[in-house]
Structure formats: C-alpha cells, structure tokens
Structure 1
C-alpha cells in the first residue's frame, strides 16, 4: 500500500504527538510499501521529526508543505491555490489512501479538498466531535450546517474511543469509523522520582503546600483555563495554602496572564510556567492535576497523570467518564463541585486504574490497533 499522511498544522502539540506515534507504527508495518508524509516546512519540530524518521525508515518520504492551515486562514484565494497545488502532488504520488490530521473537522481542509479533487480516499484522523450549537444565532446555525457537510467528506474516521466513534457514525453514516486509543511512554509508570524530590528539583515549596497543575495548550475556548481562574477567585480561602501551576503555551497566553495579573487572589497562588520540555517532574510534584475542558478527545495528560499515580480532576465531557471514576469528574459548569473535587482528589485511590491504563495505553496495544488502518478493505483498490 502507498499511504499518505497530511498535517498542515503550525502547532506541535498533543495532537501532533499522537500523529508522530502513528507514523512510527505505520513505518514499521509490513503492509505499507511507502509512507509519504506531508507536513509544513515551517513547523520545525514536526518537519524535523519526519525527516529523522525518513532517514531511519527508507520507506518514509517527506513532502514539505509551503503553507500551514493558519497561514491560509481567511485567504480564500491562497486556499484555492494550495488545494490545486496539493491535488497535483497527490496525483503524482498515486496514493491508495491519505490520512489527514484533523484536530477539528474544520482543520486540515486544504488536504481534504485536495484529496477529493485528486480522487484519493481519505481518512480523517482524530477530529473532535462538536454537537449542534445551543445558540439560535444565524451565524452559529450556518457554521453548524457547514460542519455537517464537512463531516460527510472523509471516507473513514479514526478516533479515540467508542463514544466519539458513535457520534461520528451518527454525523457521517456512510463513512467508516474505527477506534485507535492513545499510547503513552511507560516511563510515566516506571519513574522512581518522589514528590519531594520533584518539588526540590523544580524549586517548588515542599512544606505541605497543595500543588495543583494544569498542563495543556493555553486555549480558553477548549481548555477553559479562564473557568479555572474564576473557580479559584470565587473560592479564594480554599487556595490560600495552594499553588496552581499553568504549564503550556498557546494563542491565549497573553489573555490568561492579564487575567492573573488583574487579580490579587490569582496573583498570590497561580504561576504561569510556559511550555516545558518534560512534564513528568511537574506531574509527580503535584497533588492533583486539573482538566476543566469544554471538549476533549482522550487527553495525553490524563493518561500520563494516572500512570504516574496522580489523580486528575476533569469536566464530565466527551465520554471522559469512560476513563475516570465519578470522584474525579465534575459537571462542566459547576465551580463548587470542581473545587471540592480538586481538594478531595488526594484521597482517591487510583492504583487499579493505573494498572488498567498501563495495559490499555501501551505501545504494543497501539501498534496492534494501528495495523487495522492498513488491513481494512481499501476504498480505492478494493484489496486489504
């Protein structure tokens, strides 16, 4: 099989980390004859990873994209040019299938439209599923109608769990859908680093201070760090002996900094630490982690935290109740329940959950599941 992977993101975040792991699995597959990976030249970490993979695995070929999704945003003429140009490339490659990395169904569109133009079967990889908007505004209704059309464009979907799989099947009943769960480096479960040692090495207080960490992209729409800030402000007394670490970078970093600096309560207990090369010490140093997102796939930080024997308190969205016990979940808009769960989390036993995650999210399980991508009946040639 000649397989293609397309990613036009300028970001190198959790979604791209999952894509890298899939590339490794597919490069090792005996069913894949050539793996053509299309990534932006300007996304240096991602392009460098693919280039190094191509040096190690001769079947992997790098196709540098001159654009990113973000550079095309709002420029319809540039978008149409890149669709035509990418379609020409796809025809030249003569792929059996193109896997398109889609953080949402509205991302990676240049690749999706180009594949349709070139008549290449497409697989949408890890698109988050959005439900119909509650708002009755005309603009929201129009956006939803457009998304409904987009959901029906890919021939197949690869998503993270059965909950998302069922939602995609409802939105695109004629497209095939399969589940491919995350995997996490087992160093998170093998680390001998203690909480005290981690705090000392990171310069964090080791005097009984209750440390809470949020690790993820700084995006208020999805990750809702602003909801976390409001919850802290409205329960200031609870956080007097606590320290909240915000780890990550993103488009809303400056906005979040302004929110923190404008509040005496937040300034006293919130530290914004930016992106960190290794999050393991911060997970180990924490008493609990938080994930108050509006929507999610299967977040890596959730798996990493549980493997490292640290509880993570998450909003009850996107089927996360399939992974975490009730004691670590809260109704998405309930600040009181959120704060109560944060400080009760230290008493939640997660030993069995950690053992289950170790089996469920292993690299071996992931690689075995990834093989089904190339073993399924191919929509173009009709062969496995």
Structure 2
C-alpha cells in the first residue's frame, strides 16, 4: 500500500507527537510499500524527525512544504495555489490513502482540499469536535455552517475515543469512523526516580512545599491557564505554601506572563518555566498535576501522570470522565471545586488505574490497531 501523511501545522505539540508515533507504527509494517510524508520546512522539529525517519527507512519519503496552515490562514490566493500544487504532488505519488493531521476540522485544509481535487481517499486524523456556536451572533452561525460542511469532506476519521467518535458520526454519518488510542513511552511507568531526587535535580524545594504542575501548550482558549490563575487569586490563602509550575510554550506565553507579573499573589507562587525537553522529572517532582482545559482529545500528560502514579485533576469535558475517577474531576467552570480537588488529590489512590493505563496505552496495542485501521 502507498500511504501519504500530510501535516501543515507550524506547531510541535501533542497532536504532532501522536502523529510521529503513528509514523513509527506504519514504517515498521511490511504491508506499507511507501510512506510519503508532507510536512512544513518551517516546523523544524517535525521536519527533522521525518528526515531522520527517511534516512533510517528507505520506504519513507519526505516532502517539505513551503508553507504552514498558519501562514495560509488569511491569504485565500496562496491557499488556492497550494491546494493546486499539493494536488499535483498527490497525483504523481498515486497514493492509496492520504492521512491528514487535523487538530480541528479547520486545520490541515490545504491537504484536505488537495485530496478531494486529486481524488485520493482522505483520512482525517484526530480532529477535535466543536459543539456548535455558543452565542447567537451571525458570524458564529456562519462559521458553524462552514465547519459542518468541512466535517462532510473526509472519507474517513480516526479519532481517540468513543465520545469523539459519536460526535463525528452525528456530523458525518457517511464517513467511516474508527478509534485509535495513543501510547505513552514505558519509561513513565518504569521510572525509579523519586520525588525527592526529582526535586533536587530540578532545584525545587523539598521542605513540605506542595508542588502543582500544569504541562501543556500555552493557549488560554483551550488549555485555560488563565482559569488556573484566577482560581489561585481567588484562593490565595490555600496556595501560600504551594509552588505552581507552568511548563510549556505557545501563542499566549506573553499574555500569561503579563497576568502573573500583574498579580502579587501569582508572582509569589507561580513559575513560568517554558518548554522542557523532558517532562518526566517535573511530573515525578509534583504532588498533583492540573489540566483545566475547555476541550481535549486524550491528553498525553494525563496518561503520563497516571503512569508515573501522580494524580492529575482535569475538567469534566470531552469525555475525560471515562478515564479518571470522580475525585480527580471538576465541573469546568467551578473554581471552588477545582481547588478542593487539587489539594485532596494527593490522597487519591491511583495504583490500580496506573496498571490499567499501562495495558491500555501500550505501544504494541497502538501499533497493531493503527495498522489494522489504516491498511483496511
């Protein structure tokens, strides 16, 4: 089978990490004759990964895109031109299927339109699903109508869980929709690093200070680090002997820094650490992790934390209640319950859940499922 993978994201986040793992699963499969990967040159991390994969596996070919989705967003002329050129490439490659990485249904559109133009079977990989407009504005309704049409474009969807699968089936009932849960590196479950050793290595206090960590892209709309900041300010007394680590980078880094700098209570307990090459020591060093997102797929940090036997408190959104016990969940807009859950989480026993995650999110299970889905 001749497979293609298309990703025009300029970001190297969770979706891109999952895409890398999918490539590794496919390149080892004997039924894949060629793996043709189209990624932006500007996304240095992703482009370098695919380049190294191509050097190790002759069946992999890399095609550098001169654009990113972000660069095409407000340039309709450039978008149409890149759709046309990408469609020409797809016809030349004579693919059986093209998998398109879509963080949302509105991302990766140049690849989706090019697949339609070249008449190649298109698979939308991991799109998050909107719930429709929350307001009654004309622009909101128009955008939603456009998105509903976009959901009808892919021939197939590969998503993360049954919750997202059901939502996609409601929007695109004729598309084949399957689920593929991701895997997490075994080292999160097998690490012998202790909390004290992790804190010492990272220069963090080990004197009874409670350490809470948020790991993820700095995007206030989705990840809601601003919700976390407001909760700390509202309950500043509870956070007096607490250190809150914000680990990650993103488009809202400057906004978040300004929020912290403008507040004495936040400045006293919040540290903005930026992106880190290895998050495992930070997870092990923490008493509790938090993820107050507005929406999610299946966040890697949630799996990583549980495998490392650290509790993580998440918002009850996007079907995440099917992964965690009620004691680690909170209503998305309730700051009081959120804070209560955060400080009670250290007493939640997650050993059995950790063992279940170890079986459920293994690399062997992921590889077998990925190959079965995409080579059907």
User: TM-score over 0.5 for the alignment?
Assistant: yes
Give the TM-score normalised by structure 1: 0.97
Question: Which residue in the other structure is 1:271 paired with?
Answer: 271
Asked whether the equivalents of residues 32 and 374 of structure 1 are also in contact (C-alpha less than 8 Å), the reply is no
- Alignment partner, residue 216 of structure 1: 216
Alpha-carbon distance between aligned partners in 2 of 1:370 and 1:211, rounded to the nearest angstrom: 37
Displacement of 1:321 in angstroms is 0.5
Q: Give ranges in structure 1 of 5+ residues lacking alignment.
A: 377-384
- 1:23-62 map, 5 Å: 23-62=23-62
Aligned residue runs from structure 1 range 254-293, under 5 A: 254-293=254-293
User: TM-score with structure 2 length normalisation?
Assistant: 0.99
C-alpha separation between the residues in 1 aligned to 2:296 and 2:372?
A: 24
Give me the whole-angstrom Cα distance separating, in 1, the residues matched to 2:148 and 2:364: 35
Q: Deviations over 1:18-62 (max 9, x none)?
A: 000000001111221111000011111111110111111111111
Following TM superposition, by how much is the alpha carbon of 1:73 offset from its aligned partner in structure 2, in angstroms?
A: 1.3
C-alpha separation in 2, matches of 1:284 and 1:344? 18
Aligned residue number for residue 382 of structure 1: none
Q: Secondary structure at the match of 1:79?
A: helix
Report deviation, 1:374.
3.1
Q: Secondary structure at the match of 2:217?
A: coil
Q: Distance in 2 between matches of 1:355 and 1:57?
A: 34
Q: Deviations over 1:320-378 (max 9, x none)?
A: 001000000000000000000000000000000000000000000100110122332xx
5+ residue gaps, structure 2, are none
* Residue 74 of structure 1, CA deviation: 0.3
**Pairwise CA distance, 1:303:** 0.3
Partner-residue secondary structure (3-state), 1:309: coil
CA distance in structure 2 between the aligned counterparts of 1:121 and 1:182, rounded to whole angstroms:
23
The alignment status of 1:74 with 2:66, answered yes or no, reads: no
Structure-1 residue corresponding to 2:15: 15
- Mapped partners of 2:351, 2:373: distance in 1: 33
- Cα pair 1:31 1:374 within 8 Å, conserved: no
Question: Could you tell me how far 1:161 is from its partner in structure 2?
Answer: 0.5
SS of structure 2 residue aligned to 1:157: strand
CA distance in 1 between partners of 2:25 and 2:373 (Å): 11
Match of 2:335 in 1: 335
Residue aligning to 1:164: 164
Superposition CA RMSD, Å: 0.6
Aligned 1:1-384 pairs, distance under 5 A:
1-376=1-376
